[in-house]
Amino acid sequence: MAEELKFTYDASGINRSDLLEKAARTVDEFKWIDLSPGGGSEAVTTPEAQLLRELDGDVARFSGFPVVRRISEDDFAEHGLKVPVRFEQLGKLYRFYWIGFPIVLIPKRNWPFHRLECLVEFNPGQGVGHLLPKAYQILPDKKFQELFRMNDGLEIRLGENFEFEASVESKVKAAVKAKAAADLGIIVGPFSYSIKRALIDHTAVGLEKVFWRVEGTSFFQDDDLTFVVIAQVPSDTTEVKIAAAMQVYRDFSLAAANVTAAIENLGTWLKSFFQAGMPIRDTKTWDISPRL
């Protein structure tokens, strides 16, 4: 069930740089050069170990402070949209905020990441349930999965039911509108959103936390990835903090044969780390209360 989603591999508390270096040294220990005629041998740096060390240059992190903007009736009017009845009704008890979590991905060695998992939680540890912010709408949303698979970009807006709606647009139009959204702060819509053809899963909306898993695609440096939550914040809530964690993975089965063979010489625990995709983890906490 989607509600039971969790990170594929628990990389919390792991120093990835140390693991990569330890693995590289171990791989090198199995490769020696003969110093004849006097005998003896000397360790060398192998191509396999060099690749492992280069992977320490991978970058996968949240990009700065989230984009936070309150949604008001004016946002609909500015785009020629009728204010949704549901927004007017819920607005008596709640405030709504667009929160975007941009992500930076820079994989080394032209070996892309193939799975990305992201968790965001509002006011973690807060015991007063009726004051907790909730995720009202999210992107990417698996209800648009088939459209993402079949098209270069989607035009997204908050529609008459105050829910995300999507329509297809051309690649050129998507690129132009994506830049306009970034430059001008287009929030309610229409705005462009795209993600490469992938399998999308996530927990249900209406909860104080959201977990996404996006896999089956290739994530490169030029990908513009943003996870979006429309947060439903009770009127009496004055403080909103966010805890976030993300992990990215590689498809280890795509590694060169010499690399996979070298990994076989590692201990069981180290080998499991590589076979899990050498996950990179980033965590952040933000207090967005001043932006409310």
Give dist(CA 24, CA 31) in Å, integer. 11
**Number of compact structural domains in the chain:** 1
Residue 178, pLDDT > 60, answer no
Q: Give the tens place of pLDDT for each residue, 95-139.
A: 999 999 999 998 887 788 999 999 999 999 887 788 999 999 999
Min mean pLDDT across 27-41, 44-58, 228-242 is at 27-41
Contact 67, 97 (CB under 8 A): no
Q: How confident is the model at residue 31 (pLDDT cuts 50, 70, 90)?
A: low
Measured N-to-C along each axis, helices 268-275 and 16-29 cross at an angle, to the nearest 10 degrees, of 120
At 151 the pLDDT is: 73
- pLDDT band with cut points at 50, 70 and 90 for residue 46: confident
Across the chain, mean pLDDT equals: 85
Regarding predicted confidence, which is higher, 183 or 21? 21
The pLDDT tens digits for 47-67 are: 888 888 999 999 999 998 999
| 36 pLDDT tier (thresholds 50, 70, 90) | very low
Taking the C-alpha atoms of residue 196 and residue 261, their distance in angstroms, rounded to an integer, is 31
Cα dihedral across residues 36, 39, 42, 46: positive or negative: positive
- Find all residues with CB under 8 Å of 237, minimum gap 6, and list them: 123, 131, 132, 133
User: Whole domain around residue 126: which residue ranges?
Assistant: 2-291
- pTM of the full predicted structure? 0.86
- Look at 42-46, 54-58, 88-92, 180-184 and tell me which has the smallest mean pLDDT: 180-184
